Structure 1
Amino acid sequence: MGIVVKSVAPLLAVGALLAGCATAPPQSNHAAYEAYEQQNDPLKPFNKVSYHFDNKLDTYVLKPIALGYIDVTTPGIRAHVADFMSNTDAPAQLLEFMAAGKPRDAGTTLVRFLVNSTVGIGGLFDPAGALGYHRVYTDLGLTLAGYGVPEGPYLYLPFAGPSDLRDATGIPASIVLTPTFPAPPSTGLTIFNYGSDALSVVNTRAQLHGTISNIRKTSLDPYATFRSLYRQHRAALLKEINKRDVATPPAWYSAAQRKAMRHEEYDASN
């Protein structure tokens, strides 16, 4: 799995576009060509190099650090760290939900940020969840997907992990939309940004340790497994957003019109 180095990843994404592409099999070989199309991985030569680089980095650096972190923390502490990191992403997600035309999720995100930033001590705790405002998630890639932008070819970025051309656009956006981005630069702010990024990486790696270890032990092709799981996860996130944030038929519509709208919304989300 990759780690997030936000200032480097966008440049690597550009490098990926310039990398050599995998050669498609002849269309006369229907089975091979169909498999190639289904993988949607024409940048596989670059992606495989990136994957193996990250795998080595994880084996010799990130995994040992994560295991040490697991030894000195509890699941509760790791959950609080994840809550804090999620809260720092809320302003960006608020704007992305608004851009996607998802007012319910935008409202939930705003309430969660205000409550958790105050009562929840900066997001270390999740009192908003106890009040019924449960965590929702989006990013720029999912917003673009909601407007019908295709995912594009699969892309594995060094230091950032599985992605695709559409989702990779969210990396520079995530930098600009962080709460600390507009603040005047200072030594303290720099230390906080690098420290929080490092903590987020280690905490996330610790939470995914069991899953990653299991895939590496049992999968015949971990690269293909991670690619498949990434796509399934992104599709599930988009489906959740579409099912959760549907329009409410106006009260002045007739019963038949409201029923028809609900059926249309249900069909669109399935």
Structure 2
Amino acid sequence: MRAETGSNSSSPRPSPLSRRPALRVAGALLGLLALAGCATPPPKDPEALAEYNEANDRYEKMNRKAFGITMWANKYTLRPVAKAYIWAVPRPLRNSFGNLYQTMNEPVVFFNDVGAGKSRRAGDAFVRWCINMTAGIGGLIDVASYAGYKHHDNDAGLTMATWGVPSGPYLFLPVLGPSSFRDGIGYGIDVGLAPWNYVPRGYGLVTFNWAYSIMGTINGMATNVDALDQVLKDSLDPYATIRSAYQQQRKAQAAAIKADNRATVPDWYSNR
């Protein structure tokens, strides 16, 4: 689990290359839908009602229980693993794993950029994938950034946001962390968009998929462990802080996609 504190995290949501997390997300969403009657009723006081609507957290009681479970797991399992990983694996190697994680997810970013109608962003994602898969030794080195093609995040939840689809109620999924109805559905779509899920599954590919998913998860935890520690230490209500940070980040990411109206053809090409 991570605290969402930036608009361009090196470890975005769990990778759509792994089907099992997607099934857990879908199961959690179905469970919450079945328990819709347990939603916290809106308060009658006008100020409290405005705060309730802004938080968009009608399942707060359930979400806080999930948050408590996750923080327990973080204290006794996730954080020790992340700290051990940081101690054992040099930073350059951790950066390479992060680059690999990003590169393998670029096709999903590309398809979502196309879906959002942002051809320039889609072109950047495609070029990044081509450069890093070749000159970047399969994605271990982010050569594309040095060539001027910086990484940007996109996923089906953000694409739907650019279409005007509302986020739906805020959700906190055990261990997986903050989400929403729209983002949970979007994650399932991203699983379908990942081309690696359609590669024939020989023994070597299954092994790689598991290793990739586990390493990506641990690397993501290690990237954000200090930020989460800081939130837990300084915040009077860490749950509300993480909820607010997540919601603000998603709004900012969707707004950045909408505002990106660059010409389809890069300047270096049109100025030849």
Decide: shared fold, TM above 0.5.
Answer: yes
Post-superposition shift, 1:35?
Answer: 1.5
* TM-score normalised over the length of structure 1: 0.86
In the alignment, structure 1 segments of 5+ residues that lack a partner are 249-270
The corresponding residue for 1:166 is 182
The corresponding residue for 2:42 is 24
Which letter does structure 1 place at the counterpart of 2:91? P
SS at match of 2:158: helix
* Deviation per residue, 1:28-82 (Å, 9 max, x gap): x211211111111001122112111111111111111111000012222222111
Is 1:209 aligned with 2:225? yes
Structure-2 separation of matches of 1:100 and 1:187: 36
Post-superposition shift, 1:247?
Answer: 5.4
Is 1:12 aligned with 2:23? no
**2:59–2:169 Cα contact (<8 Å) kept:** yes
**2:118–2:260 Cα contact (<8 Å) kept:** no
SS at match of 1:180: helix
Structure-2 separation of matches of 1:128 and 1:184: 29
Structure-1 separation of matches of 2:86 and 2:105: 24
SS at match of 1:155: strand
Structure-1 separation of matches of 2:261 and 2:94: 29
Post-superposition shift, 1:240?
Answer: 2.0
Candidates 94, 99, 106, aligned match of 1:78: 94
The corresponding residue for 1:44 is 60
The corresponding residue for 2:201 is 185
Structure 1 stretch displaced more, 117-126 or 9-18:
9-18
The corresponding residue for 1:116 is 132
Post-superposition shift, 1:246?
Answer: 4.1
Is 1:224 aligned with 2:240? yes
Matches within 5 A, 1:240-251: 240-246=256-262
Structure 1 stretch displaced more, 185-194 or 199-208:
185-194
Candidates 114, 127, 136, aligned match of 1:98: 114
SS at match of 1:208: helix
Post-superposition shift, 1:218?
Answer: 0.6
Is 1:198 aligned with 2:214? yes
In the alignment, structure 2 segments of 5+ residues that lack a partner are 3-12, 15-20, 265-272
The corresponding residue for 1:152 is 168
Structure-2 separation of matches of 1:70 and 1:30: 48
* Deviation per residue, 1:1-53 (Å, 9 max, x gap): 26952331211111122221012112xx2112111111110011221121111
Candidates 78, 84, 101, aligned match of 1:62: 78
The corresponding residue for 1:252 is none
Q: Which has the higher contact order (CA 8 A, sep 6+)?
A: 2
Candidates 147, 170, 188, aligned match of 1:131: 147
**2:132–2:144 Cα contact (<8 Å) kept:** yes
* Deviation per residue, 1:71-96 (Å, 9 max, x gap): 01222222211110011111111111
The corresponding residue for 1:267 is none
Which letter does structure 1 place at the counterpart of 2:41? T
- The two structures, once aligned, show a CA RMSD in angstroms of 1.6
**1:162–1:230 Cα contact (<8 Å) kept:** yes
Identity of aligned residues (%): 33
Structure-2 separation of matches of 1:59 and 1:17: 29
Rate the CA distance shift 1:142–1:56 in 2: closer, same or farther, 3 A.
same
Structure-2 separation of matches of 1:245 and 1:17: 37
Post-superposition shift, 1:186?
Answer: 2.8
Following TM superposition, the consecutive aligned residue runs of length 4 or more in structure 1 with deviations greater than 4 angstroms are none
Which letter does structure 2 place at the counterpart of 1:140? A
Which letter does structure 1 place at the counterpart of 2:39? C
Which letter does structure 2 place at the counterpart of 1:78? R
